[in-house]
Structure 1
Amino acid sequence: MPLTKPVYNNSPELPWVVQKFGGTSIGKFLDNIANQVIKEYVKQNQVVVVCSARSGENKQTGTTNRLIRAADEALRPGSTEYLQIINDLLQDHLGVAEEMINDPEILKELKHDIERDCTKLKSFLEAAQIISEISPRSRDIIIGVGEKLSCRIVAAVLQDRDVDAAFVSLENIIDREFEALDQTFYDYLAERMAAKVRECGNKVPVVTGFFGIVPGSLLTTIGRGYTDLCAALTAVGLGAEELQIWKEVDGIFTADPRKVKSARLISIITPEEASELTYYGSEVIHPFTMEQVIRAHIPIRIKNVQNPRGQGTVVFPTDAVSKDGTATPPHSPKVLAENGYHLDLSRKYPTAVTIKDSLVVLNVHSNRKSVSHGFFAKIFSTLDRYGIVVDLISTSEVHVSMALGADSNERDLPRVIEDLKSVGRVDLLKNMAILSLVGKQMKNMVGIAGMMFTTLASAGVNIEMISQGASEINISCVIEESKAVTAMNVIHDQLLSKQSTLVLPAVKQSTIASLMLD
């Protein structure tokens, strides 16, 4: 009598865990994901898998970027390049299916589904070329095919590895009109996503990160991080024990480990710190994701698909709002420890240092022909008209310096500069970078800013701009991009290392604890 293979599935008595996998992880480490991650977690949790579109060695060659190019090509009269792009995507995904799937029945069904999705996409783009129009919402639909193809492959691979998985598409989940992406909309989405997941019963849902037509277009209003948001809202709707973001790194480090040899893994970090690191160069978590899960009091754990047994980094909601919408007190060190999270209250140095490069600095010097409020009004209305995003700003009554992302503003910058010449002299500095020192406890470190700038000066790093005040947990400055790695290393060695000589005014342990957890 043949032995029956074990089947891994969700048990309703176990707590929910939502696992989000990025495109590169799915493209390169799918076997690890199936055998070493999902199979292990499903033994102790009800698991939901949320997937991005597959990527190769880098995002530029990934499925989403190729779909965006296909949409652009379809708008070019007479172009057939989009047909080649779709055919290449079809062959790539069919090749992965044949490589990863052993069961002939599972493989046959998967290939049929992939071919059907690509045929529908081809017809959609042909129609768009005929009418010479692709609306923002139509572009969303085109991009969403990437998540569908990815999730079909992941679900089939899990089935092939004896995991009772189900493909779940969220493309039609929104069944009523909303005017804006506000909290009412997010609450509705969380509820709908959770209901869709529960329909799977004991099966492990493999959910598309794309969740349909949203007010103002998914790509425009949320951006490329919408898969993270989907995972977050699913976790909120299910009341999950944890949201896991799986990457190709062990978690969040005190600095970029590729550039700073002494960088250390951070075991636990506050949401505020994680948000600052995300904005100023460290690709951590989409800000919408952070907001939704933290207000629902759900920890976020960042882990490595190549090292599933590692603890990763936990973003713990120390200042969260409870699920019924009322404020909750901060977690005490005892509560953190009981839940397996250990916060180092003896730490007397900042949490991390990060670099955001490829910036330009725009300086505007008033010609004094307008009063100060007119000077500022003209500058910011001009930036708004061209959709220019300012990363960092430093002002006086007659001078404004702004750090701007070079890539996103290169096309419009000449026109911006020309318009701003009416209020004063304008000059531009290229090849700059923002260095940011981040730490929840820094607001209690008297003299930390002085030590930061003294350290940079001793390393021969010139500072173009300084910004502190908008956030009590972040000190940022603009430096030359060529000095960025040197600056990050000296700051890390002097201010973040456990062996550093950082000496600040003495503070009681209880005071540090209250400041870190308030």
Structure 2
Amino acid sequence: MKVLKFGGTSVANAQNIKLVLEIVKQKAQQDQLVVVVSALSKVTDLLQSAAAKAAANDESFRDVVAEIEKKHLDTLKELIPVSEQSSLLSHVKRIINHLETLLDGCFLLGELSPRTADTILSFGELLSSFIIAKAYQQINSDAVYKDSRELIKTDNNFGKATVNFEVSNQLIKEYFAENKSKINILPGFIAQTLDGITSTLGRGGSDYTAAIIAGALDAEQLEIWTDVNGMFTANPKIVKQAQPIANISYQEAMELSHFGAKVLYPPTIQPVLRKNIPILIKNTFEPEAVGTLISNQISSNDTVVKGISHIDHISLLTLEGPGMIGVAGSSRRLFEVLSQEKINVIFITQASSEHSICIGILNSDAENAENAINKAFEIEISQNKIDPCYVEKDLCIIALVGENMKNHQGLSGRMFSTLGKNNVNIRAIAQGASERNIST
């Protein structure tokens, strides 16, 4: 069995969906398939906009709903023969009416709870998967639609729910043991709490849905179909000579995707990583291209540096002072404060003298982090043992990634001298003991 996931651009409109249906048709000749689909392109953004407007008592949320409705009805009309459309159009309109009722509630109350937001955002995937399933059933009747909420169960942390793997894996195995259809089409991104309330899996949620199902079923392969020919040696929009990478290890892929390679979201790898299930990244619009295979195979004659990646809009926070030298627990206090504020730390470096510690976080978190750190260390700051937190905004992290880098001398030197020759100032450096990643 193979699990295929198609992202928003792959299902942007009826024309693109026809390409998806053709790929599924070809694949179904050899394998039993699970097909996970995202919402139509930009629909999640439209749903967020409608919810925000409704909660702000802005009547124009109805215009956004009308746009969402038109987008789905137009797609359905182009994919389904006229003789089959009537009941399906009614079903889509019922779903849209339900959405509008929820938004009316937000409008009347003037608020949007995380629980309601998750329910509203779920409509994108529910609509796209229903339409795509019905369109594929015109080609092959041995295809069924299954609501992922019945299979994937989570906690009540709405917005980015944590999956209950014990329950979910059992439900997935039971369903697929009983259901022998050649093709199962499911919505990505959405799940359900144990008490039956709709939840979502956060950013990269459709990839995650596909990986959860692949992991539970010990699938032969997880295929992620997107709008690029796999992972590249650098961002092809910035670096013209960037090349697609044919083979890459799980660890290298996670490093590159953590540092901004948008093709893959790191948490999505976890369920398949544990089972050593290969991930193939392919281009819906160029299916004959080789793509990128992510697996646990590391070749000794592989390229030393697999890729160069980056994250923009970074702030560097520095905490330093003589009061940190030899004092146990300063780092723990710093990271505890950031954890309590739910701030994700992207980059860490500390001088061996323990005189200073630098952390990289997103610009959007910088003000909150600065205030929280200064409050936590206010006694030491007032006694001049530690300086107030120093913030530098609008920086960028560049990372050199490669499994074989540890076997080659002088890579750091070449990287730093190249930046120096090009008048690029390095503010901080971090390298793990695995030497799989050099970050500046």
Under a length normalisation based on structure 1, what TM-score does the superposition of the two structures give? 0.75
Q: Is 1:30 aligned to 2:17, yes or no?
A: yes
Partners of 1:187 and 1:230 in 2: CA distance: 15
**1:410 Cα offset (Å):** 5.2
What is the SS of the residue equivalent to 1:213?
strand
Q: Are residues 234 and 75 of structure 1, via their aligned partners in 2, closer, same or farther at CA, if it must alter by over 3 Å?
A: same
What is the SS of the residue equivalent to 1:191?
helix
- 1:121-172 deviation line (CA, Å, top 9, x unaligned): 2222323444555443332222111101111121122233456432221224
Partners of 1:244 and 1:176 in 2: CA distance: 24
Give matches, 1:359-370, under 5 Å. 359-366=314-321, 368=323
- 1:423-451 deviation line (CA, Å, top 9, x unaligned): 41333222211110111111222332222
Give matches, 1:135-174, under 5 Å. 135-162=113-140, 164-173=142-151
Q: Are residues 412 and 437 of structure 1, via their aligned partners in 2, closer, same or farther at CA, if it must alter by over 3 Å?
A: same
Residue equivalent to 1:350? 305
**1:308 Cα offset (Å):** 0.9
AA aligned to 1:53 is: A
**1:394 Cα offset (Å):** 1.4
AA aligned to 2:209 is: C
Q: Is 1:276 aligned to 2:255, yes or no?
A: yes
**1:311 Cα offset (Å):** 2.0
What is the SS of the residue equivalent to 1:68?
helix
Q: Is 1:255 aligned to 2:234, yes or no?
A: yes
AA aligned to 2:125 is: E
Partners of 2:12 and 2:156 in 1: CA distance: 35
AA aligned to 2:39 is: A
**1:354 Cα offset (Å):** 0.7
Q: Is 1:63 aligned to 2:43, yes or no?
A: yes
451, 454, 476: which one aligns with 2:414 = 451
Answer yes or no: is the 8 Å Cα contact 2:338–2:344 preserved in 1. yes
Unaligned 5+ segments in structure 2 are: none
**1:239 Cα offset (Å):** 2.4
**1:344 Cα offset (Å):** 4.6
Residue equivalent to 2:4? 19
What is the SS of the residue equivalent to 1:443?
helix
Alignment identity in percent? 30
AA aligned to 1:346 is: N
Q: Are residues 348 and 84 of structure 1, via their aligned partners in 2, closer, same or farther at CA, if it must alter by over 3 Å?
A: closer
**1:350 Cα offset (Å):** 1.4
What is the aligned-residue RMSD (CA, Å)? 2.9
427, 435, 440: which one aligns with 1:472 = 435
AA aligned to 2:311 is: K
**1:191 Cα offset (Å):** 3.3
Q: Are residues 33 and 198 of structure 1, via their aligned partners in 2, closer, same or farther at CA, if it must alter by over 3 Å?
A: farther
Q: Is 1:45 aligned to 2:31, yes or no?
A: yes
Q: Are residues 174 and 250 of structure 1, via their aligned partners in 2, closer, same or farther at CA, if it must alter by over 3 Å?
A: closer
Partners of 1:217 and 1:162 in 2: CA distance: 30
Partners of 1:470 and 1:130 in 2: CA distance: 55
What is the SS of the residue equivalent to 1:109?
helix
Residue equivalent to 1:463? 426
Q: Is 1:112 aligned to 2:99, yes or no?
A: no
Residue equivalent to 2:337? 382
**1:217 Cα offset (Å):** 8.3
Answer yes or no: is the 8 Å Cα contact 2:189–2:205 preserved in 1. yes
What is the SS of the residue equivalent to 1:212?
strand
Answer yes or no: is the 8 Å Cα contact 2:33–2:182 preserved in 1. no
Residue equivalent to 2:187? 208
- 1:387-406 deviation line (CA, Å, top 9, x unaligned): 22221111232212221111
Under a length normalisation based on structure 2, what TM-score does the superposition of the two structures give? 0.87
Answer yes or no: is the 8 Å Cα contact 1:359–1:432 preserved in 2. yes
**1:377 Cα offset (Å):** 4.4
Partners of 1:297 and 1:94 in 2: CA distance: 41
Partners of 1:87 and 1:348 in 2: CA distance: 51
Q: Are residues 182 and 161 of structure 1, via their aligned partners in 2, closer, same or farther at CA, if it must alter by over 3 Å?
A: closer
Partners of 2:182 and 2:278 in 1: CA distance: 24
Answer yes or no: is the 8 Å Cα contact 2:401–2:438 preserved in 1. yes
Partners of 1:411 and 1:104 in 2: CA distance: 56
Q: Is 1:85 aligned to 2:64, yes or no?
A: yes
Report the number of matched residues. 425
Residue equivalent to 1:314? 293
Partners of 1:444 and 1:392 in 2: CA distance: 24
400, 403, 407: which one aligns with 1:440 = 403
**1:187 Cα offset (Å):** 4.0
Partners of 2:190 and 2:168 in 1: CA distance: 9
AA aligned to 1:412 is: N
**1:456 Cα offset (Å):** 2.0
Partners of 2:28 and 2:139 in 1: CA distance: 13
Partners of 1:218 and 1:388 in 2: CA distance: 22
**1:266 Cα offset (Å):** 1.3
Answer yes or no: is the 8 Å Cα contact 2:153–2:167 preserved in 1. no
Partners of 1:476 and 1:442 in 2: CA distance: 13
Answer yes or no: is the 8 Å Cα contact 1:20–1:51 preserved in 2. yes
AA aligned to 1:300 is: I
**1:411 Cα offset (Å):** 5.7
AA aligned to 1:17 is: K
Partners of 2:371 and 2:162 in 1: CA distance: 34
Answer yes or no: is the 8 Å Cα contact 2:319–2:357 preserved in 1. yes
